[in-house]
Structure 1
């Protein structure tokens, strides 16, 4: 299997970490989406990463589909619980983390425009989504096993929820570290991030400035 990815995509990082945690061998192919010969559009009509190219030439996208596929390839350490209630909780955390990433990516793309073409109201709306999402996750994490004492997002067990949140936090640190102070504003999330960064899968997939 081959994963088409960009180094700083939080969605692609989520897939890379799931593959590493599941000990599934995946060939990594870093791409440049703006390059004329970028292979992504051959496998995903939306032209987005990540894309997992299967041995038979078929392809999977987006990240939520890919991680479910990988998690079910082996019974080793399921990252998406088999129990329905726990599974729904994990996917809800993932959905909110991905939604925060969506808003952050939209903000970053808008800010890359020349100053006279940027929409300040659009940026404010997107950053409001980021902040409200972080507030919700921070509060929910504090409730899991007593305020500020939980190691993991759902049922005290490392799961896809933690991976999705960790990838989102890594992206925010990369793009918005100067305006979002996790330690001061969202201490439960900061504690989770520090715990995650001790894992080889997270250390080996850090975004690059």
Structure 2
């Protein structure tokens, strides 16, 4: 398998962590979707990463779809419960982590891609509110549990860890560690895993 993505994309990182946890071999192909000569549209009509490519030139896109597929490739180290309320809870954690990411990415684009004269401060404030609400919810829901859904490491933890890592990369002004100690504890635990420590995004990018 080949994975189209970038080293700074938190959605790509989520897929890479899942691949590492599942011990799935793949080739990472770096793709800049902002480049005029980007080939991403050939594989994803929405022009977004990550994309998982197969030998027959077909593809899967959207990190949530990709990780769902990857988890079926091996029964070892299941990251998504197969049915019932536990599965729904895991996917709900992923949804709120991805929602936090969507807001953070929107702020980053507004601040770095939009011309200064078109900067929309109220939009940024709205996205910041979503981020803080998501952090508050996740910190409370996590409580003293070792992992998001209880005692087992799941996709929920991967999604949350990647979201927190992206805040460190693009929005360091959000001092989430001091305000949300439960998430800080989880994040430090996740960084002890090779899947997380090996996919920390480069700060200079």
* TM norm. shorter chain > 0.5: yes
Q: Deviations over 1:104-150 (max 9, x none)?
A: 100111111343221010000011001101100010001xxxxxx32
Residue 195 in 1 paired to residue 189 in 2?
yes
**Which among 175, 185, 191 is matched to residue 181 of structure 1?**
175
Query: Which residue of structure 2 aligns with residue 150 of structure 1?
Result: 145
Within 1, Cα distance between the matches of 2:122 and 2:79? 38
Within 2, Cα distance between the matches of 1:208 and 1:91? 28
**Corresponding residue SS for 2:188:** helix
Within 1, Cα distance between the matches of 2:81 and 2:189? 21
Within 1, Cα distance between the matches of 2:84 and 2:56? 31
- Structure 2 unaligned blocks of 5 or more: none
Moved more, 83-92 or 31-40: 31-40
Within 2, Cα distance between the matches of 1:46 and 1:116? 27
Within 1, Cα distance between the matches of 2:116 and 2:33? 24
- Structure 1 unaligned blocks of 5 or more: 143-148
Structure 1 residues 45-194: aligned runs within 5 Å: 45-112=45-112, 113-142=114-143, 149-177=144-172, 179-194=173-188
Q: Give the ranges of 4+ consecutive aligned residues of structure 1 lying more than 4 Å apart after TM superposition.
A: none
Within 1, Cα distance between the matches of 2:80 and 2:45? 27
Q: Deviations over 1:83-116 (max 9, x none)?
A: 4211100000000000000001001111113432
**Corresponding residue SS for 1:69:** helix
Within 2, Cα distance between the matches of 1:37 and 1:182? 37
CA RMSD of superposed structures (Å) = 1.0
TM-score scaled to structure 2, two decimals? 0.96
Within 1, Cα distance between the matches of 2:178 and 2:189? 17
Query: Which residue of structure 2 aligns with residue 207 of structure 1?
Result: 201
How far the C-alpha of 1:202 sits from its partner, in A, is 0.3
